[in-house]
Amino acid sequence: MEFIQNVVLPVLPYVQIILSILLVAAILLQSRGSSLGGAFGGDNFSATFHKRRGGELFLFKASIVLAVLFVLSALINVIF
Protein backbone atom coordinates (compact mmCIF):
# COMPACT_ATOMS: atom_id res chain seq x y z
CA MET A 1 0.00 0.00 0.00
CA GLU A 2 2.81 2.38 0.86
CA PHE A 3 4.56 1.50 -2.42
CA ILE A 4 1.48 2.54 -4.39
CA GLN A 5 1.13 5.84 -2.57
CA ASN A 6 4.82 6.76 -2.69
CA VAL A 7 5.88 5.47 -6.10
CA VAL A 8 2.90 4.79 -8.36
CA LEU A 9 0.60 7.73 -7.62
CA PRO A 10 3.11 10.50 -8.42
CA VAL A 11 3.99 8.85 -11.75
CA LEU A 12 0.43 7.87 -12.69
CA PRO A 13 -0.62 11.13 -14.43
CA TYR A 14 2.39 10.92 -16.75
CA VAL A 15 1.65 7.27 -17.51
CA GLN A 16 -1.96 8.16 -18.33
CA ILE A 17 -0.87 10.96 -20.68
CA ILE A 18 1.52 8.63 -22.53
CA LEU A 19 -1.10 5.87 -22.73
CA SER A 20 -3.74 8.28 -24.03
CA ILE A 21 -1.44 9.63 -26.76
CA LEU A 22 -0.47 6.11 -27.83
CA LEU A 23 -4.10 5.00 -27.82
CA VAL A 24 -5.24 7.92 -29.96
CA ALA A 25 -2.38 7.31 -32.39
CA ALA A 26 -3.15 3.58 -32.64
CA ILE A 27 -6.83 4.28 -33.33
CA LEU A 28 -6.16 7.00 -35.89
CA LEU A 29 -3.66 4.86 -37.76
CA GLN A 30 -6.33 2.17 -38.20
CA SER A 31 -8.64 4.36 -40.25
CA ARG A 32 -9.19 3.05 -43.73
CA GLY A 33 -9.62 5.19 -46.78
CA SER A 34 -13.35 4.54 -46.97
CA SER A 35 -15.26 6.72 -49.34
CA LEU A 36 -17.89 9.27 -48.39
CA GLY A 37 -20.54 7.22 -50.18
CA GLY A 38 -20.28 4.54 -47.50
CA ALA A 39 -21.46 7.03 -44.90
CA PHE A 40 -24.70 7.55 -46.83
CA GLY A 41 -25.40 3.91 -47.59
CA GLY A 42 -23.67 3.75 -50.93
CA ASP A 43 -21.84 0.71 -52.22
CA ASN A 44 -18.58 0.41 -50.35
CA PHE A 45 -16.10 -2.42 -50.72
CA SER A 46 -15.04 -2.14 -47.07
CA ALA A 47 -18.52 -3.14 -45.91
CA THR A 48 -17.75 -6.74 -46.80
CA PHE A 49 -15.75 -9.14 -44.64
CA HIS A 50 -12.15 -8.10 -44.22
CA LYS A 51 -9.43 -10.07 -42.44
CA ARG A 52 -6.80 -8.05 -40.61
CA ARG A 53 -3.22 -8.93 -41.47
CA GLY A 54 0.24 -7.62 -40.72
CA GLY A 55 0.45 -4.07 -39.47
CA GLU A 56 -3.31 -3.68 -39.32
CA LEU A 57 -3.60 -6.68 -36.98
CA PHE A 58 -0.78 -5.32 -34.82
CA LEU A 59 -2.48 -1.92 -34.51
CA PHE A 60 -5.79 -3.58 -33.68
CA LYS A 61 -4.29 -5.68 -30.88
CA ALA A 62 -2.14 -2.78 -29.64
CA SER A 63 -5.18 -0.52 -29.37
CA ILE A 64 -6.99 -3.16 -27.28
CA VAL A 65 -4.01 -3.55 -24.94
CA LEU A 66 -3.54 0.22 -24.63
CA ALA A 67 -7.24 0.71 -23.88
CA VAL A 68 -7.16 -1.93 -21.14
CA LEU A 69 -4.02 -0.39 -19.61
CA PHE A 70 -5.58 3.07 -19.74
CA VAL A 71 -8.75 1.88 -17.99
CA LEU A 72 -6.70 0.07 -15.33
CA SER A 73 -4.62 3.18 -14.68
CA ALA A 74 -7.80 5.25 -14.37
CA LEU A 75 -9.22 2.74 -11.88
CA ILE A 76 -6.02 2.83 -9.84
CA ASN A 77 -6.23 6.61 -9.81
CA VAL A 78 -9.84 6.54 -8.58
CA ILE A 79 -9.35 3.83 -5.96
CA PHE A 80 -6.24 5.31 -4.38
Contact 46, 38 (CB under 8 A): yes
In 3D, which of 80, 34, 30 has the Cα closest to residue 55?
30
pLDDT value for 50: 76
Contact 70, 16 (CB under 8 A): yes
Taking residues 36-52, report their average pLDDT: 60
pTM of the model: 0.76
Taking residues 30-57, report their average pLDDT: 66
What pLDDT band is residue 80 in, cutting at 50, 70 and 90?
confident
The 10s digit of each residue's pLDDT in 9-33 is: 999 999 999 999 999 999 999 876 5
> Among the residues of 2-54, which ranges form H helices?
2-3, 9-29
pLDDT value for 26: 95
